[in-house]
Structure 1
Amino acid sequence: MNTAELLIEAYSRVPDGIYRVLDGLDPTGLTARPDAEANSIAWIVWHVARSQDAQVAEVADADEAWLADGWSDRFDLPFDDAATGYGQTSEEVAAVRASAEDLRGYLEDVQRRTLEFLSTLADEDLDRIVDERWDPPVSLGVRLVSIVADGLQHLGQAAYVRGLYERAR
């Protein structure tokens, strides 16, 4: 297994798990929140896709699917197109209302773009510095691990919220 194959394997686990979370979930379940300050499944899935989209597009020097493929218009969220979910208020979390079909479609689009980029990588690419705002500066390898780790953590959160929703019904 080479570097690209390893990263593709890791990145493939996030959407596979999210699709299971979304499978058969009704609109009420998508927006259910364990309490008024908690994140909904719709917000979590949007945030996973949106964060991966923005960060991978930046390191790949590519367009974000959010804008280039019309997802921003389709979701029609009441905040800036640059928003990825970081630091959002409870009200902003509640504003993310989307169908399972749209959430899945956006994540599939982001995943396709991500895998295309990952398939081009060689070992030496991972040492390229992609963010000098940190000390030490962040390499491509570190950034890619950070993105997939965040996605896996949020996948667990979405699965937990779905379990709570199903138990309460």
Structure 2
Amino acid sequence: MKHFGAGLSELHKELNTIIRKQDKVEYAKRLFLDLHAALHLSAISGRAKNEVDQLLCDLSPHEYRIMPTAKDETIAWVLWHIARIEDLTMGILVADREQLFNDEWRKQLNTPISDTGNALTDDEIMEFSKQINIDKLIAYRNAVGQRTCDIVKTLTATDMKRRVTSLGLATIRQIGGVTDQKDSLWLLDFWSKKDVAGILLMPPTRHVMLHLNDCCKWKQQIRERKKYFHST
């Protein structure tokens, strides 16, 4: 069921058809930025309030840390997961720079992990959600989103077809962006098959759309249910 992002799938499909066309690169970049703006707080793009603002504006700290059913995660975990993946893929694989996450961010976030959280158990997700500083988590995601916009504005048609490098993938593993666990390590293989256009079409867009849809569904469930699978 659709809980978030009406019309965004259509924008994404259009982006997919033109993103590698040399004569469409500027339009593709504008389309990406339109889509990306709808997936981040409006403060990042300077546009009108959007569904992300609506999702986060009235959540209590406790609601970020609820796992509604055994099939779900927490909103805190999702925000971390999508921010970390966007940081790693855009910063390292697309821009060939460093990630934004560093020791200072780790300290401010009070996070027990540095990877994307793919392999965490339910108990580990709950412990992570209990520890993470929610305000700083939102600030970190905002910073990642802003840098993504800056990176995309500099891309050329040639960049769009540039393959992900083995050095970039090795860097992500070396800095702990993924762990050696099977449920985490597969990300490197998945990303290894992408070019820059392929990265833009998944981690900072399609991937985020899916997870924010979950978060909107969970918010509704949290406010309707009297019992949850896990809560802090």
Interval of TM-score (by shorter of Structure 1 and Structure 2) = 0.7 to 0.9
Say what the alpha-carbon RMSD is for the aligned residues. Answer: 2.2
CA contact (8 A) 1:131 1:138 kept: no
* Structure 1: tracts of 5 or more residues without a match: none
CA-to-partner distance for each residue in 1:142-166, whole Å, 9 max, x for gaps? 1110111101100101111111111
CA drift of 1:134 comes to 6.1
Aligned amino acid, residue 112 of structure 1: Q
TM-score (normalizing by structure 2): 0.65
The correspondence for 1:162, drawn from 219, 223, 227, is 219
User: Would you say 1:60 and 2:116 are equivalent positions?
Assistant: no
Larger relative CO (CA 8 A, sep 6+): 1 or 2?
Answer: 1
CA drift of 1:124 comes to 2.6
Structure with greater Cα Rg:
2
**Cα distance, 1:75–1:134 mapped onto 2, change above 3 Å:** closer
CA drift of 1:135 comes to 10
Task: Report the 3-state secondary structure (helix = DSSP H, G, I; strand = E; otherwise coil) of the residue aligned with 1:91.
Answer: helix
Looking at structure 1, the residues matched to 91 and 162 of structure 2 have their Cα atoms a distance apart, in angstroms, of: 15
- 1:42-57 residue pairs with structure 2 within 5 A? 42-57=76-91
Q: Which runs of structure 1 show a deviation greater than 4 angstroms over 4 or more consecutive aligned residues?
A: 131-136
The count of corresponding residues between Structure 1 and Structure 2 is: 166
Aligned amino acid, residue 106 of structure 2: S
CA contact (8 A) 2:163 2:196 kept: yes
CA drift of 1:103 comes to 2.5
TM-score (normalizing by structure 1): 0.87
CA contact (8 A) 1:4 1:120 kept: no
CA-to-partner distance for each residue in 1:31-54, whole Å, 9 max, x for gaps? 011135521111111111111111
CA drift of 1:20 comes to 2.3
CA-to-partner distance for each residue in 1:101-159, whole Å, 9 max, x for gaps? 22321111001110000111122321111156569932110111011110110010111
